[in-house]
Structure 1
């Protein structure tokens, strides 16, 4: 039986506790994704109460599940293991070599050794079950993904105003939040605040419709007709996304439902 897709707002995940096998680690303070597949690569954990000034990263490959009932993200490792991992200082950048070191420490496969967002596997969980010796690369290995960069959800959302979303014919709005699939950890949608430009408050824009991002200028260009966007039913940020809503969204924007 096919698993029901569950979507989470990034801001919702940031309210959840990160639960190791033996203790709580903290909560999510940021989410890193890659700029090619728009797929989550790391949860950045706030461990300031017990491991200050360190940047603690956890790959979705190391996660067990998102437990919405208990507002927790369960991790398949202990607090002591996380504490002893190779950590960067808070403001240090994340290099590809560091990602390799981190994967080696946790004994998890690296995500870029094959094709697609998870090396040819549909989910990080499936990749994690693969032969680790086969999938983990040596430290001097070069990567075909070296030109892809990790990006911050906090940056894209912005503290006051997120990145501008520019459609065909004009602005649609600003990035208010992002929506993540808890199975493959892809950012499937941008939640775009449109109240400054359109009648609606929020609409969803699929990341598959992005055709360009000017990271320095904080502009995202999408294949969405800005006039058609006015006909989209408002997205309720407190409601679950249903297939019916997605069908209406795609229909209003003239999009093929099979594109996600």
Structure 2
């Protein structure tokens, strides 16, 4: 199952003893393209502050009631997982959060979540020496992302007013309208790219694994696909379920190596 980033922003974050607030933003790392923190809107009780929660601190997500349940108490999160509104994460702060709440140190280990495949793998489970068949992620292009990750805001690259622009081999393809997130790993699986200004194919799915380069200042994302290929490729209908059949068509059309192989 894939979550829409915009849909998650309507969810409430519920601690074991009360509501923290709605999801305001999602922070991802630009190395492995995975959501690392949910940001709660706490302006009513913590003005000028932001509260963050790791997906490894999530107990369950109720999609019917639009509630994300976390494992900790509201006061503990408020006292220990709060940053200034414009404050960026430091390595020391991430280590501190991990030590305080038992959140997985995703940066320490060879897998997507450090020594684990998903944020909800039991902590007592031994570190895997090899990933089971069918779960391996595609290699990261270090020439694009570099060896060190940086946490970035989903809100800064998707939407009507702030968005990344996707460029192909022969010009602009479209802008990032929304993002699809894997519900088990929290990896960003696809950008939903609005191509209506440049193509009759109104929306398409583009994987971040296909990116060749990124200009984070101007929010320009470059891939090695031509506009003609996008024009002929599978269209993504709004709110459509992303089935394996659709994914196979996309990867086949764009001649990309499927991530599930």
| Same fold (TM > 0.5) | yes
Identify which range, 212-221 or 114-123, moves more after superposition: 114-123
- Equivalent position of 1:187 in the other structure: 188
Q: 1:204 offset after TM fit, Å?
A: 0.3
Task: Count matched residues.
Answer: 243
Among residues 105, 119, 136, which one is paired with 1:110 in the alignment?
105
Q: What is the rounded CA distance, in whole Å, between the counterparts of 1:32 and 1:162 in structure 2?
A: 15
Task: Tell whether the 8 Å contact from 2:33 to 2:208 is kept in structure 1 after alignment.
Answer: yes
Q: What is the rounded CA distance, in whole Å, between the counterparts of 2:87 and 2:259 in structure 1?
A: 40
**TM-score normalised by structure 1 residue count:** 0.86
Structure 1's 79 and 245: CA in aligned 2 closer, same or farther, altered over 3 A? same
Q: 5+ unaligned residues in a row in structure 2: which ranges?
A: 128-145
- Equivalent position of 1:53 in the other structure: 48
Aligned to 1:11, the other structure's residue is in SS state: helix
Q: 5+ unaligned residues in a row in structure 1: which ranges?
A: 1-5, 133-144
Q: 1:61 offset after TM fit, Å?
A: 0.7
Q: What is the rounded CA distance, in whole Å, between the counterparts of 1:221 and 1:129 in structure 2?
A: 41
Q: What is the rounded CA distance, in whole Å, between the counterparts of 1:101 and 1:146 in structure 2?
A: 22
Q: CA RMSD in A?
A: 2.1
Q: Deviations over 1:198-234 (max 9, x none)?
A: 1122100011111211111211112333211111232
- Equivalent position of 2:245 in the other structure: 244
Among residues 105, 119, 126, which one is paired with 1:124 in the alignment?
119
Aligned to 2:232, the other structure's residue is in SS state: coil
**TM-score normalised by structure 2 residue count:** 0.86
Task: Tell whether the 8 Å contact from 1:61 to 1:127 is kept in structure 2 after alignment.
Answer: no
Q: What is the rounded CA distance, in whole Å, between the counterparts of 1:161 and 1:104 in structure 2?
A: 34
Q: 1:85 offset after TM fit, Å?
A: 1.2
Among residues 61, 64, 69, which one is paired with 1:66 in the alignment?
61
Aligned to 1:12, the other structure's residue is in SS state: helix
Q: 1:44 offset after TM fit, Å?
A: 0.7
- Equivalent position of 1:174 in the other structure: 175
Q: Which runs of 4+ in 1 moved over 3 A?
A: 127-132
Q: What is the rounded CA distance, in whole Å, between the counterparts of 2:147 and 2:41 in structure 1?
A: 27
Q: Deviations over 1:5-48 (max 9, x none)?
A: x1011000001111212222111111100011000110111112
Task: Tell whether the 8 Å contact from 2:155 to 2:162 is kept in structure 1 after alignment.
Answer: no
